[in-house]
Amino acid sequence: MIAKLILRDKEYEVRPGMTLLDALKKSNIVPEAVIAIRDGEIITDDEILRSGDEIKLVAVISGG
C-alpha cells in the first residue's frame, strides 16, 4: 500500500513511513503553501504517513 497526497485535482503517491514534510518535498510541493488534512483534522508536517493515508492538501495562496 502507498500513501497519497491530493492537491486540487492532482494525486501524488508517496511511500508510507516518511514524514509529511519529506513527502511534500519529494513531491515538489512547497510546504509553506499548503495545509494538510487527514481524516478531517489538520496535521503538522512531522506526522509519519501511514499506508493507505489520503492526505488532502489545501492550497493557501490567494490574491491577484
Q: Decide whether 2 or 11 has the Cβ nearer to other proteins.
A: 11
Rounded Cα distance between 28 and 39, Å, is 23
**33 is a contact residue toward other proteins (CB under 8 A):** yes
**48 is a contact residue toward other proteins (CB under 8 A):** no
Residue choice 16, 18, 22, 31 for contact with other proteins (CB under 8 A): 31
**Three cell numbers at 26?**
519529494
Q: How far is the CB of 25 from other proteins (least distance, A)?
A: 8
Assess contact for 12 and 20: CB atoms under 8 A. Answer: no
Q: Which helix (H) or strand (E) holds 61?
A: none
